[in-house]
Amino acid sequence: MATIFSKIAAGEIPSYCCAQNDEFYAFLDINPMVKGHTLVIPRREVDYIFDLADDELARLHVFAARVARAIKSVIPCVKVGEAVLGLEVPHAHIHLIPMQSERDMLFSNPKLQLPADEMQAVADAIRQAFEKA
């Protein structure tokens, strides 16, 4: 059975798309820790990120770096942090989180609820920056 993230990458479930290519897909986390919190996934369905082949893992990170640069260009932050958990959704993904401080990386923090139009505007801005780079 396809994972929820496979369905998102295939466009069968809506998402706030930030970037994509043939192999990878980036979209806003629906329960963001901070504005601009983005997930990056391989379209290929693999649960545990460290089960990816070395070259696919490398390409995923190169793609995530491009997304992180786009995020940093549109969301004021000190740096974009990267985290991998995978405890909830069994489809490999990287969290990209614009940080003001270390506290922004605490997954135990309460999550934000941003209005749909704000989520859409953030995703559009990241996608435009990604495509322009």
Residue 84 neighbours by CB distance under 10 Å: 11
Query: Does 87 participate in binding ligand AMP (rule CB under 6 A)?
Result: yes
Query: Does 86 participate in binding ligand AMP (rule CB under 6 A)?
Result: yes
Cα–Cα dist 109/125, whole Å: 25
* Residue whose token pair is 């290929």: 44
Query: Does 20 participate in binding ligand AMP (rule CB under 6 A)?
Result: no
Residue 65 neighbours by CB distance under 10 Å: 14
Query: Does 74 participate in binding ligand AMP (rule CB under 6 A)?
Result: no
Q: What values do phi and psi take at 10, rounded to 5?
A: -85, -5
Cα–Cα dist 32/28, whole Å: 8
Q: 77 near 99, Cβ under 8 Å?
A: yes
Q: Using the minimum distance from each CB to ligand AMP, give the nearer residue, 111 or 133.
A: 111
Q: How far is the CB of 128 from ligand AMP (least distance, A)?
A: 20
Q: Identify the residue among 46, 52, 57, 89 touching ligand AMP (CB under 6 A).
A: 89
Query: Does 116 participate in binding ligand AMP (rule CB under 6 A)?
Result: no
Is 95 tagged catalytic? Answer: no
Query: Does 105 participate in binding ligand AMP (rule CB under 6 A)?
Result: no
Q: Identify the residue among 22, 54, 55, 88 touching ligand AMP (CB under 6 A).
A: 88
Q: What values do phi and psi take at 29, rounded to 5?
A: -65, 130
Residues that bind ligand AMP (CB under 6 A): 4, 15, 29-31, 39, 85-89
